[in-house]
Amino acid sequence: MKRRNFIKKTLLSAAGMGLLTSLYSWQVEPFWLEFVHKKMPIKNLPKELIGKTLLQISDIHVGNKFDYQFIIDSFEKAKLLNPDFVVYTGDFVSYENEEQLKQLKDVFKHVVKGKLGTVGILGNHDYGKNWAEQHVANKITEILENAGVSVLSNYQKNANGLNFIGLDDYWGLNFNPTEIMATYDAKKANLVLCHNPDVCDLNVWNNYSGWILSGHTHGGQVKPPFLNPPMLPVKNKRYNAGEIDLKDGRTLYINRALGNLHQIRFNVRPEITVFKLS
């Protein structure tokens, strides 16, 4: 009888823990924002930019997959940091139809902007269904530009001494990094925005040395303790999340995403990254 009671209690405890973990992964962690603070040394950085802050916001995925009021609330919290620069590294929507364009407009009424510059790039989801709808990308670009975000599609922009190089998405319709990286000037204070970190393994970088800010992976959204995430949308499974030294003068940082592709996270909290320039 004692053994039978022990087994019964063990099974009930396991079921209870499973239920609590499921509720936590569904209702708590997807909305538990973390501000991750990092130092960002940049070559040729003007003296007046030393100590300035740069916020990276990525993969907000506005749509019907989760309550995007969380994105608005997170934007309002980010504004309190009074950032000098803000970069958005793609996947602004989880596109189903034109409803997401209206939703995006509503969210970007609360846009986080930098005092010295605000730029962004598109991700694969910003190209609509099958990443193949240019008109969707055009409309999203228009919404962002009207909100004060300069969208860089294989283009570079100098913002008060910091030179942003924006690559269009690897899976999208306009991926063409070779041409823009051919114009890269190593004497500038450069920072590359590239939604999909798999691009780091392509022969397109023209000896670039510096930081690359990416998103796309969401850190896998579910990560068992002490193990790698079981699912990552990249070929190079090393590209999970966080800071990665590429051992050739490039430093990759992969943001874990602010939004959720699906409303489930475990051991991978949503993130806004706060870099201090040096």
User: Model confidence over 13-42: pLDDT tens digits?
Assistant: 444 555 677 889 989 999 999 999 999 999
Contact by Cβ (8 Å): 152, 164: yes
The predicted-structure confidence for 74-102, as pLDDT tens digits, reads as follows: 999 999 999 999 999 999 999 999 999 99
Q: How far is CA 152 from CA 4, 112, 123, 164, in A?
A: 65, 17, 11, 8
Q: What is the pLDDT of residue 4?
A: 54
Residue 121's Cα: distance from chain center in Å?
Answer: 10
Q: How far is CA 141 from CA 69, 106, 123, 165, 276, in A?
A: 21, 15, 11, 17, 28
Question: How would you list the strands of the sheet with 150-151, edge to edge?
Answer: 34-40, 271-277, 53-57, 85-89, 117-121, 150-151
Task: Collapse the DSSP code of 147 into the 3-class scheme (helix H, G, I; strand E, B; otherwise coil) and give the result.
Answer: helix
CATH 3.60.21 fits 33-277, yes or no: yes
Beta pairing, strands 190-193 & 210-214: parallel
Neighbours of 184 (CB within 10 A): 18
Report the distance separating Cα 177 and Cα 169, nearest Å: 9
Q: Can you give the pTM of this predicted structure?
A: 0.93
Q: How much of the chain, in percent, has pLDDT values that exceed 90? A: 88
Domain boundaries, the chain: 1-31, 33-277
Residue 220 has pLDDT above 50, yes or no: yes
